Amino acid sequence: MKSNLNGTYAVGFYPGGGNRPLPLSSALPAPPRALRGADHGGPEKVGPGALGPGPARKPWETMNSIIPAQIQNRLILMDDPLHESTALPLQLELLKRRVAELEQTLQQLRRVRDLLQQLDRAWAAEAPMAHALRAVRRAFEADALLFTQLDSYGRPARWWQVGWEKISTDDLHTLLQFLLRASRETSRAGPYILPLSEAMLPAEKRLARSALVVPLKDPWGNEGLLALFKQSTEGFPEDARDLAEAAAEPLALRLYSLHALEQQQHLNRAVTLLFRVARIMASSPELAVTLPQVVRIIREETGWPSVAILTYEPSRRQLRVMAWEGYSAAADLGRCIIPVDQGITGRAFRTGEPQRVSDVSLDPDYVVGDPATRSELAVPIFDGEIPWGVLDAQSPEPYAFTPDDETLMLAVAGTIGLGLEAARVYERVRRERAQVGLERDRLIALYEGYLAIQQHPDPEEALTEVVQAFVRLGWQGARCRALDESGRVIAMREGVPPPSFPPMTLEPWLQKDPRLERYRWRARLYRFPAGDPEALAWFQEEISVTRVALPLLDTAGRLLGLVELEAPEGEDPGGPLLRPTELLATLLAISFDRGRLLRRYEQRLREQTMLYRAVSVLLGPKEPGLILTEIAAALCEALDGTSAYFIAMDPEHRTARVAAEYYAESANPMERVSDLGVIYREEEVPLEWVALRERQIQVLYADDPPDAYEGERALLRRYGGWSVLVIPLFVGEEPLGVVEVWDSRRRREFDGGDRALAQAIAQHAAIALQRARLYEQLQQVNRRLETIFSTVEDGLILLDRNGRIVQMNTVARQLIAGAELSPESSLVDLLRQLRRWSQEAARALAQGVRRIRQETAGGFRLELSFPLKDSVRQFALICSPVRDNDPPGGGWLLVLRDITAERERDRLREEMIRMLMHDLQNPLGPVHLALEELATYPELSPPARSLVRTALRGLDRLQNLISNLLDLARLESGRMPIEWEPADLGGLIEEAVEEWGVMFQRQRLRVTVEIAPEFPWVWMDRQLISRVLWNLLSNATKFTPTGGEIRIRAYPREGMAVLEVFNSGSYIPPEQRQRIFERFIALPGRGGYGLGLAFSKLAVEAHGGHIDVESDASGTTFVVRLPLRHSPS
C-alpha cells in the first residue's frame, strides 16, 4: 500500500492471480481534488431507501396526498394515463411529473458524460488507473474506493484502493472477502447500496458505514467489483446507485482498457530496466565498478527500499555483500556475512530458486541484517550453470513483493550473471494529499474578500474587509500589514477580535532569515507553535498561542506585506482553513503588487513629465554659462527644492567654484544671498568631492550627528538649509562638476524616485553642457576657417548640391563676379558670368558638373583665359565634389588658380622639346641607312652583325619616341589633323586582339571579348583610335601576371560608345589614377616612358570623348567613351 499527501492510492495482488503488473507503477500520486461549489457544501439528504436495496419507484407512487386513493389506483391500472377520460388536473399533474422524471434522467446522463470524460483523460496520465479511480471517487463523492479484478473462478486476482491512508492488508482482505460473499449472495443484477453494520463486520474491521457495490463486466468477459465507501451516516443517495447503473458498462470497458495500458507500460519499463542493467554490465569488466551502478539502477528504477548483491565465497561457504543501497543505519552491510545454510538469501543460493517472503518474522530461516525489514525477495545469480551469488531486495512493509517482482528479479539476475545488456526502470511516485473542499461560509468569506479587493482601486483601503474575511474563515484573529518598496509599513489593519499577540518584527522577512525555514509549514505558510522559545526574539513575548504567518510576495520574491493569523484555541491550523487562506492571501498579494505598480507608474509618469520639461529647457544652442543656470533651475524645479547651485570642480587645484545659482519662490532670505563666484577649498566642501569621486548622489542633513562633514553642515545651517542633495555630473569619464539642490523648508527624505530623476536630469544636463561647449568650439573653428578662406590667394567658390553659392572669397569675386554675384546666386548666374570670357569654358564647366552629379567623375580641371585691365591671364578652374554634410547633402568647390607663369614655362619647354626632336630626327635618317647598309656586308663577323642589329633596334625605339613626342605636341597644340571616317569599333578590337594573340598565348592569358550586337559605327580617326587600343592592350599584357585574365567590352550607352579594357592582378592607388595620364609619368616598378596613356588621353579628347581608370583588388579597368555622331561635325 502506498500513500501520498493528497489522498491514498494503493494496488494489491492475491496469490495465484495472473497478469500482475510490476510494482513500479503500483502506486502513483493523485491529482489535486477540485474545490466544490457553494451548492455542494454539505451532504445531500436521501430517503430511507438510500441505505439499502429496493425497487425503483414509479412517479405515481409518490403522488401528493391531495389525489384521492381511488383515482391513484385507477391511474396505475390505466395503460394510457393521459386518456381522454382522465380529468384535466390529473393530466396536468402527470405531465409535470413526467417532465421532472425526464429532467432527472437528463441530469443523470450528464453526470455519466462528465464521469466518462474524466476517465478518458486518464489515457494521457502517467498512471491511468490511479487517475481513473480518483475520478470515479470524486464523481460519487465517496470517502474511499476499492476495485477488484476477478479471475475466471470469481476469485480476486488484483485490487486497487483509494482513500484509506492507514489500513492493513489483513483488514483490507477481510473487507474484500465480505464484499465478494455479499455480491454472490444477493439477487440483484446491478449496483446496490450495502449498509455496513457491526453485525456484518466487527467494529475494528468496519472501515465505513455504507458501500455502493457495482459489479463490472466488460465486452470480453472480464469481471470485477467496484465498491465505493462513505463514512457519514447519510450514506449514498439513490441517484448515486442510478448513476452507477447507467455508467457500469462503459466504466468497466474503460477500467479494463486502462489496466491493459498500464500492463503495457509495465512491460515497457521492465524491458528498459533490463536493457540498462545489461548496458552497465557490458560497459566494464570490473565488477567493483558495475555492480554498485546496477544496484543503484535497480533501487532507483524499481522503487524498492533496499537492494543488495551478495557474492559467494566458496572457500568459506558464505555470502558477502558486495554492493548495496538503501539500508537503514542499523544495518552493517559492509561486514555482513551470511552462511549459505542460513537465511533467506542462503536458501535461494542453495536451492537455485527465487525466495519471496511476505513477512520475514514468520520465516524460520530469516537472519536479521536490517532490523527494519518486513518482507524480502532473494533471487540466485548464475554464471552459466554455476551459482555465483544472490540479488536481494528488502522492504520495511509486509507483502511488498509480488510474483511480477520475482519474475523481474529473475531476469535482472540472469542479465547480471551473463554479463549481457540490462535495463533499468525508473519509477517516479508523486504523492499529493487530496485537498479538502471548502465549507460554504468560508467560500462566502473568500468571495467577500475578493469583492473587497476588486472594488477598491487602492488595496490599502480594502485591508479592513480582507482582514475580517480571514477571521470569518475560522481564524481566531488576523492582522495584515502592507509595505512599500523600502520595507516601510504604509498600512496596517486588525480583525475583530484582534490577535492576542503584538505584531511580529519584519526584519527576518526582509532579510530572508534562514532560521525561518525551520517554521515553514507549507509552501507559503509558516507556523510558530505555542511555547517555542526560539521565536521569542521575533514576537517580543512568550508565544502562548499557535501563530501562522503568510508573507505576501511578488513574482520576484520581494515582500509586499505580511499576514499574521492566530489559530483557533485547541485546534491545529490545518484542513479546510489552509486552501482558502492561501487563496485569499494570493489575491491580496496580487492586489498589493498591482497597487505598487500603480504607484510606481504614477511616480514614473511624474518623473518623465519633469524630465521632459527639464530636457526641453536644456535643448537648443546656448552659451555654456546660460546652460549652467538652466541645469540648476531644471533640477530645482524637478525635485521641488528651494534653491540649486552648479559648482565647478577643479581637480588640479582641489577647489570648487560656484558657477551658477537658481532660487525658487520658496527660498528663504538667507538662502537668497548670492554665492556666485565664491571658491571653496576641498576641506570646506568634502561631500561634493566624495560625490564626484564615487560618482554617486550624496545627501546631507543639518540635524545629523557630528561627523566628517560637520563643517559643511554648519554652512548649511548658516544659510537656513535643512536638506541638500548633491548630484555629480559626468560626460563619459570626464567630470563636469556637481549640482546642489537645497530644501530649506523641512528635513527632506529624498527617495529612490527622486534620486533616479535627479540622475536622469543630470545625465541630460551633462550632455547639454558638453553640447554647448562643443558648439562654442565649433564656432571658433568656423571663424578660423573663415579667416583662412578669405586670406588664401586662389579664388574659392563653394556650391551646394542644388548649385547655389554658399560661400565665395574676395579673390573669386574680383576675378569672375565683380559685384554681380552674391551668396544667394546660383550656378546658372556663375555660368552666365563665365560666358563673357569663354563660351567653351562655361560649356565645359556645365558638362563637368553634370558628370559629377551622375557620379561618373570625381572632379575635373579646366584652363581659362581671363582678360584683365592690362593683360590676359591664364587660370585653372578646378572643380571638386564635396561629399560632406556641410553644405548639407554635399556640393562642389571651385578653385580659380592663376597659372599664367606656369603655362608660359610650359610653352617654352614645349617649343624647346619640338626643336630638339626636329633637330634629332634629321641626323637619325642617315645613321639608320648606314647601319642597314653595314648589316648587309658579308665580311662582318657574327658578333659584329649582332651589334649592328642591336644598334638598329635602339635607333628604331629612339625614332618611335621622337615620333610619339611630336604627335603629343601636335595633339596638345591642336595641329594634328583628324581623319574622320565611319569605322567599326568592333572590327578594330578584333584586329588588335589578333595582333596580340601570340603574346597572349605566350603568357597564358585568358582573353574575353564582348561586343554588343548591332553595335553602331563610330565617326573617328581610325589610325588614332587603333593606337589608343594598342596602348591599352600593351599595358594590360604588360601588367597582367601569367595565367591572368583580360576582358574587352564594347557597348553603346547614353549616346556614347563605351570601350572597357580590364586586366587582373594590377592595382593603381587612387592618388595616382589621374597622374598616369600625364607625360613622362610612370608608376614605380612599371617601367616605360609614360607617353602611351598621355597620347591616348589626348587622342580620345580630340574626338570629344574622355578616358577614365577604375581599380580595385580584382584588377584595373580603363574606360574610353567616344560620342556617337551622325557626322564629323
* Torsion angles phi and psi, residue 1105, rounded to 5: -110, -165
What pLDDT sits at residue 1089? 64
Determine the average pLDDT of the residues in 446-468: 70
**Residue 774: C-alpha distances to residues 622, 623, 876, 935, 986 (Å):** 11, 10, 38, 81, 60
Q: At a CB cut-off of 8 Å and minimum separation 6, what does 733 contact? A: none
What pLDDT sits at residue 1050? 93
Angstrom distance (rounded) from CA 750 to CA 723: 9
What pLDDT sits at residue 67? 38
- Mean pLDDT lowest for which of 114-118, 649-653, 782-786, 1055-1059? 782-786
The candidate with the shortest Cα–Cα distance to 1068, out of 1105, 1106, 1114, is: 1114
What pLDDT sits at residue 32? 34
Average pLDDT in the chain: 75
What pLDDT sits at residue 221? 78
**Cross-strand bridge partners of residue 158:** 13, 149
Task: Identify whether the C-beta of residue 515 lies closer than 8 Å to the C-beta of residue 554.
Answer: no
Sign of the alpha-carbon torsion through 130, 131, 133, 134:
positive
**Residue 191: C-alpha distances to residues 39, 214, 247 (Å):** 27, 4, 10
Quick: pLDDT tens for 285-310. 777 888 888 888 888 888 888 899 88
Percent share of the chain, pLDDT over 90: 4
Residue with cell 458501500: 211
CA atoms within 13 A on the CB side of 122: 28
**pLDDT score of 59 more than 60:** no
**pLDDT score of 988 more than 50:** yes
CA angle, residues 182, 185, 191, in degrees to nearest 5: 65
Q: Count CB-CB contacts under 10 A for residue 278.
A: 22
**Residue 41: C-alpha distances to residues 66, 435, 443, 581 (Å):** 34, 14, 9, 17
The DSSP secondary structure of 224-261, one letter per residue, reads EEEEEEE-SSS---HHHHHHHHHHHHHHHHHHHHHHHH
* Torsion angles phi and psi, residue 433, rounded to 5: -85, 130
Cis? peptide before 977, omega within 30° of 0? no
Residue with cell 524480502: 376
The candidate with the shortest Cα–Cα distance to 1076, out of 971, 1066, 916, is: 1066
Output 857-865 pairs: Cβ under 8 A, ≥24 positions apart: 857/1108, 863/899, 863/903, 864/834, 864/837, 864/838, 865/837, 865/838
Cis? peptide before 497, omega within 30° of 0? yes
Quick: pLDDT tens for 401-434. 877 778 888 888 888 877 633 333 333 433 444 3
The candidate with the shortest Cα–Cα distance to 521, out of 474, 565, 479, is: 565
Angstrom distance (rounded) from CA 879 to CA 415: 94
**Residue 1091: C-alpha distances to residues 178, 970, 1063, 1086 (Å):** 124, 14, 20, 13
Task: Identify whether the C-beta of residue 662 lies closer than 8 Å to the C-beta of residue 740.
Answer: no
Q: At a CB cut-off of 8 Å and minimum separation 6, what does 68 contact? A: none
Task: Identify whether the C-beta of residue 142 lies closer than 8 Å to the C-beta of residue 230.
Answer: yes
Quick: pLDDT tens for 72-125. 444 444 445 555 666 788 778 888 888 888 887 888 788 888 888 888 888 888
**Residue 16 in 3-state DSSP?**
coil
Angstrom distance (rounded) from CA 533 to CA 513: 17
Angstrom distance (rounded) from CA 759 to CA 743: 18
The candidate with the shortest Cα–Cα distance to 826, out of 798, 852, 850, 847, is: 798
Residue with cell 569675386: 813
Question: Which DSSP helix (H) or strand (E) runs through 119?
Answer: helix 88-120
Angstrom distance (rounded) from CA 956 to CA 964: 12
**Position with higher pLDDT, 505 vs 618:** 505
The candidate with the shortest Cα–Cα distance to 1076, out of 1062, 1101, 1096, 1094, is: 1094
**Residue 256: C-alpha distances to residues 148, 457, 955 (Å):** 11, 55, 116
The candidate with the shortest Cα–Cα distance to 566, out of 507, 479, 448, is: 479
Angstrom distance (rounded) from CA 310 to CA 324: 9
**Position with higher pLDDT, 53 vs 976:** 976
* Amino acid at position 906, single letter: D
Q: At a CB cut-off of 8 Å and minimum separation 6, what does 803 contact? A: 826, 827, 828, 849
Task: Identify whether the C-beta of residue 388 lies closer than 8 Å to the C-beta of residue 312.
Answer: yes
Angstrom distance (rounded) from CA 343 to CA 339: 8
CA angle, residues 565, 570, 573, in degrees to nearest 5: 40
Classify the phi-psi angles of 1006: left when phi > 0, otherwise alpha if psi is within -120 to 50, otherwise beta: beta
The DSSP secondary structure of 1042-1100, one letter per residue, reads TT-EEEEEEEEETTEEEEEEEEET----GGGTTGGGSTT---TTT-S-S-HHHHHHHHH
**Residue 734: C-alpha distances to residues 266, 681, 687 (Å):** 72, 21, 19
Angstrom distance (rounded) from CA 895 to CA 793: 10
C-alpha cell at 396: 520495511
Angstrom distance (rounded) from CA 611 to CA 619: 12
| Burial letters 433-471, b for 16+ CB under 10 A, else e | bbbbbbbeebbbbbebbbebbeebeebbebbbbbbbbbb
Percent share of the chain, pLDDT over 70: 75
**pLDDT score of 14 more than 60:** no
**Structure confidence at residue 1119 as a pLDDT band (50, 70, 90):** very high
Alpha helices, DSSP H, located in 706-821: 710-718, 752-791, 810-812
Quick: pLDDT tens for 476-531. 888 888 887 777 787 888 888 888 778 888 888 888 888 888 888 877 788 888 77
DSSP state of 220: T
**Structure confidence at residue 975 as a pLDDT band (50, 70, 90):** low
Task: Identify whether the C-beta of residue 1037 lies closer than 8 Å to the C-beta of residue 1088.
Answer: no
Dmax over CA atoms of the chain, in Å, equals 171
Quick: pLDDT tens for 668-720. 888 888 888 888 888 888 888 888 888 888 888 888 888 888 888 888 888 88
Q: Count CB-CB contacts under 10 A for residue 898.
A: 17
Task: Identify whether the C-beta of residue 674 lies closer than 8 Å to the C-beta of residue 777.
Answer: no
Quick: pLDDT tens for 191-229. 888 888 755 666 666 678 888 888 888 777 788 888 998
**Residue 62 in 3-state DSSP?**
helix
**Residue 96 in 3-state DSSP?**
helix
**pLDDT score of 870 more than 90:** no
Q: At a CB cut-off of 8 Å and minimum separation 6, what does 496 contact? A: 468, 471
